[in-house]
Amino acid sequence: MKEYSKTYEWLEARLEKLSKWPDLQKMYRNTFLSTLETTTKILNDGTSYVFTGDIPAMWLRDSSAQVRHYIGLCKIDPDMDRLVSGLIERQFKYILIDPYANAFNEAPDETLGHVGDLPKKDPWVWERKFELDSLCYPLWILDLYYKETNNKTIFTKTVLKGMDVILDTFKTEMNHQEKSSYWFVRPGAKVEESPLNGGHGLAVNESLDLVWSAFRPSDDVCTYNYFIPGNQFVVLALKIIGTYHPNEQVRTETILLAKKIDEAIHTHGVVEHDTFGKIFAYEIDGFGQYHLMDDANVPSLLSLPYLDYKTLDDPLYQNTRKFILSKHNPFYYEGKFGRGVGSPHTPDRYIWHISLVIQALTTTDLDEKKYMLKMLLSTHADTFLMHEGFHVDNPSEFTREWFSWANSLFAYFVDEHIDQIDSLMTP
């Protein structure tokens, strides 16, 4: 029997529903299969290696996002269940090797990855940029998987030990200056590729009950090291540990810690904007310095309802969303082919397909969804795939032709709106 036969059967039925819209049908098929057919390996130990696309390394963040749209198939397709459960096991295996790393090699190899970074990295590690979402994403995908399958065997010794390591790391980084041994320098690179102060980052106010992060989910260095979307994701991650950890005392303490960090976010991570009122800052230092912006990479402030941190109608989220989708956000761009959020990680006036899908997923406005889908279908530069960023005046100028995360997110959007497609595609 063909591998993933149940998935392909399910996909054919989906494609039939899109038959009135050939371009959308082609785009959906390509993006849905991108991860499965181009970036996954089942390894000899039964785990899954999911690399990001045009870079042959596995990011904890990207690999989780790359399989998000497959979760619902795990109950009907044993091959898909093996892929996703095997990925979760490998993610937690990597976390046990180094909880501060963001990307890993398929096997230990001292010649692969950023070998010149300091301090010297483990041969398993591709890159050792500490960013909070790298520890949150495996918990997020674990939670989604278990809720879908009710498969208790997913809670292996590796996964449970990994929960403890994640929890300990968060606690350590709540007192970064006092307790953490982490630092990062990329010799010879631009200054902004390494945290300031010799790779340790600028001082933060450690009385705030927030978790320190060196990098954003773009892998760009933080300006101020209390990264608010990362801390919001930490709250969700702690709630997941507090739900599944086998020790009752740990569960109780973890839920209380999540509440404490959430209170700190709302106390210290909210600022008064002259135009939009109270909004979330992107980064703060706890001494009064803050950075107002949003980035296309998830977790972002725009993505909070997608991650289930805030509801769509939450006033604080709506104020923040209006700021993000305005010229007050330094990485919001408008041009001939559309408008949306980009990133300092890519060139000026490049907007990201990921942020466009997230915008479509975080609105109930049918016209906004229509506009976003139209933009997505008109900016793939005849590749019928999603990219990283594209120039708002010329979509043929883009970064990363092969970017599995963006493909998966587009497929997820179509799946979530499959019964609305005719209305979304009708002018």
Neighbours of 106 (CB within 10 A): 16
- The structure tokens 């269940």 sit at 81
Q: What percentage of the chain carries pLDDT values higher than 90?
A: 96
Q: Are 411 and 32 in contact (CB under 8 A)?
A: yes
The residue count for the chain? 427
Q: Report the chain's mean pLDDT, rounded to a whole number.
A: 97
For residue 427, the model assigns a pLDDT of 86
How confident is the model over 292-319, as a mean pLDDT? 98
For residue 363, the model assigns a pLDDT of 98
For residue 401, the model assigns a pLDDT of 87
For residue 54, the model assigns a pLDDT of 86
Residue 184 pLDDT exceeds 70: yes
Residue-wise pLDDT tens digits, 216-233: 999 999 999 999 999 999
**Chain centroid to CA 358: how far?**
11
Token couple for 267: 């106390």
Amino acid at 136: C
For residue 191, the model assigns a pLDDT of 73
Within a domain: residue 92? yes
Within a domain: residue 5? no
Q: Are 390 and 353 in contact (CB under 8 A)?
A: yes
Domain extent for 238: 39-293
Residue-wise pLDDT tens digits, 255-286: 999 999 999 999 999 999 999 999 999 999 99
Amino acid at 84: V
For residue 189, the model assigns a pLDDT of 83
Instruction: Give pTM, 2 decimals.
Output: 0.97
- Smallest CA-to-CA distance from 283 within 201, 363, 356 is with 201
For residue 313, the model assigns a pLDDT of 97
Token couple for 108: 């230990």
178 phi/psi in degrees, rounded to 5? -90, -40
Residue 295 pLDDT exceeds 90: yes
CB burial string 316-345: b at 16+ within 10 A, e below:
ebbbbbbbbbeebbebbbebebbbbbbbbb
Within a domain: residue 8? no
Within a domain: residue 186? yes
- CA angle, 414 as apex, 412 and 418 as ends, to 5°? 125
Within a domain: residue 225? yes
How confident is the model over 29-41, as a mean pLDDT? 97
Residue-wise pLDDT tens digits, 135-175: 999 999 999 999 999 999 999 999 999 999 999 999 999 99
Residue 1: pLDDT band with limits 50, 70, 90: low
Within a domain: residue 140? yes
| CATH assignment of the domain containing 168 | 1.50.10.10
Within a domain: residue 13? no
Q: What percentage of the chain carries pLDDT values higher than 70?
A: 100
- The number of distinct structural domains making up the chain is 1
Residue 402: pLDDT band with limits 50, 70, 90: confident
Residue 20 pLDDT exceeds 90: yes
Within a domain: residue 17? no
